[in-house]
């Protein structure tokens, strides 16, 4: 017990004496939350729209104006002729274009179906889809106003948990989960491999310290640092970005502890595989990148090809991200999350046990 404390104390003295490590541990979560909170923004607003109005009637101007209501589209009068409309897309002058043909109002007035063209830059499929959605709604409303004879079916939406659709609400819980993964996997593996490189691990191995004490002493410091990290990220998210935290903080931290078994276990496994810090860094980077990409952190798992969806089942981070989002955004409890919790417990036990078994006090 005292040797575990000695190891933990030693690790903290080392971390706090190293300015590079300190910056890495305490400044990186702040930067990540700010960067991903502001930069990774899927909110599609103020889309630049080119307007080609060949009808030049009261009705066509009305239609165009209804596109400019709200923050959805910003109308730009194109200086490029319609024949070269694509140039505008290539030069990124606008993302969508509305083309109202000559005779538009004439057709509407005489009761014949009229068509307008809507061009969308599909490079980013996600924002293209959203732009089409906006345009569809606008045209529908326009129809209702000008052709009131039809009986419309009105859909009343109720968006739960994130009614304003703010990406930052979705991103910050994800950051909390990925930060905990990155920091614990990287720091644990690096700390053990560094000691192996320097030779201090050999010195510890000739002491009568028990294997359990050695493993706990080398993992507890990084578990504590991981908790500090996610606390910093959570504090920043709730205080600065005003993200609601609906569920139980105790439950979140409790489940984070279970998840740590997996993350620390992976760190230890990497350290037994690697001889140098560069190797450990590469392995750690590969592991975190792979788990983050297949975790649903940015792209929804449902959008992935079915084979990849099956692979994500083997990704412990996938469950943890779902848990963090569930607790923070929806106030989910143990009863709602038990499949994910079971998966994490299983991962934790399997990975930490195999890491402990492979970790040897011999060279």
Q: Which positions lie near another protein, rule CB under 8 A?
A: 2-3, 5-7, 9-10, 13-14, 17-18, 198-200, 202-209, 361-363
Two structure tokens written together for 305: 């090809």
The CB-of-12 to another protein minimum distance in angstroms stands at 11
Given the complex with another protein, which of 18 and 115 has the nearer CB atom?
A: 18
The CB-of-220 to another protein minimum distance in angstroms stands at 15
Which among 105, 139, 135, 137 has a CA at the least distance from the CA of 119? Answer: 135
Q: How far is CA 277 from CA 20, 24, 189, 267, 274, in A?
A: 16, 16, 8, 12, 8
Given the complex with another protein, which of 13 and 334 has the nearer CB atom?
A: 13
Two structure tokens written together for 116: 């307008």
CA distance 209 to 205: 8
The CB-of-212 to another protein minimum distance in angstroms stands at 12
* DSSP 8-state class, residue 82: G
Given the complex with another protein, which of 206 and 250 has the nearer CB atom?
A: 206
Strands of 96-100's sheet, edge to edge? 73-76, 47-53, 96-100, 117-120
Q: Which residues pair with 49 in a beta bridge?
A: 75, 96
Q: Are 49 and 94 in contact (CB under 8 A)?
A: yes
The CB-of-203 to another protein minimum distance in angstroms stands at 4
Given the complex with another protein, which of 4 and 332 has the nearer CB atom?
A: 4
Which among 246, 234, 232 has a CA at the least distance from the CA of 162? Answer: 246
The CB-of-204 to another protein minimum distance in angstroms stands at 7
Q: Are 167 and 130 in contact (CB under 8 A)?
A: no
Which among 263, 278, 202 has a CA at the least distance from the CA of 229? Answer: 263
The CB-of-226 to another protein minimum distance in angstroms stands at 22
Given the complex with another protein, which of 199 and 305 has the nearer CB atom?
A: 199
Given the complex with another protein, which of 209 and 345 has the nearer CB atom?
A: 209
CA distance 63 to 104: 11
Given the complex with another protein, which of 217 and 265 has the nearer CB atom?
A: 217
The CB-of-213 to another protein minimum distance in angstroms stands at 8
Residue 12 exposure: Cα atoms within 13 Å on the Cβ side: 11
């Amino acid at each position: 017990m005292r040797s575990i404390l000695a190891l933990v104390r030693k690790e903290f003295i080392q971390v706090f004496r190293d300015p590079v490590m300190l910056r890495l541990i305490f400044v990186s979560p702040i930067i990540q939350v700010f960067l991903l909170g502001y930069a990774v923004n899927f909110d599609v607003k103020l889309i630049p729209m080119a307007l080609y109005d060949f009808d030049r009637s009261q009705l066509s101007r009305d239609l165009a104006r209804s596109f400019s209501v709200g923050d959805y589209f910003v109308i730009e009068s194109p200086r490029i002729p319609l024949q070269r409309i694509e140039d505008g897309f290539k030069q990124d002058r606008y993302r969508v274009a509305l083309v109202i043909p000559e005779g538009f109002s004439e057709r509407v007035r005489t009761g014949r179906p009229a068509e307008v063209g809507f061009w969308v830059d599909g490079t980013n499929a996600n924002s293209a889809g959203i732009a089409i959605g906006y345009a569809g709604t606008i045209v529908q409303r326009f129809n209702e106003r000008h052709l009131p004879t039809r009986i419309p079916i009105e859909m009343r939406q109720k968006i739960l948990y994130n009614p304003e659709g703010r990406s930052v609400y979705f991103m910050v819980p994800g950051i909390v989960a990925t930060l905990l993964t990155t920091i614990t996997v990287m720091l644990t593996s690096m700390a053990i491999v560094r000691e192996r490189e320097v030779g201090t691990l050999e010195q510890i191995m000739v002491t009568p310290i028990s294997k359990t004490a050695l493993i706990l002493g080398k993992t507890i410091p990084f578990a504590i640092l991981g908790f500090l990290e996610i606390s910093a990220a959570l504090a920043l998210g709730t205080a600065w970005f005003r993200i609601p935290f609906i569920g139980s903080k105790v439950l979140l931290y409790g489940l984070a502890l279970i998840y740590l078994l997996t993350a620390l276990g992976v760190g230890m496994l990497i350290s037994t595989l690697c001889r140098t810090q560069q190797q450990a860094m590469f392995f750690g980077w590969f592991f975190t990148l792979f788990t983050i990409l297949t975790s649903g952190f940015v792209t929804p798992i449902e959008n992935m090809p079915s084979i990849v969806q099956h692979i994500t089942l083997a990704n412990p981070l996938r469950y943890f991200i779902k848990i963090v989002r569930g607790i923070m955004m929806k106030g989910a409890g143990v009863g709602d999350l038990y499949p994910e919790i079971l998966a994490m417990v299983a991962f934790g036990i399997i990975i930490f046990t195999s890491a402990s078994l492979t970790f040897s006090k011999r060279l």
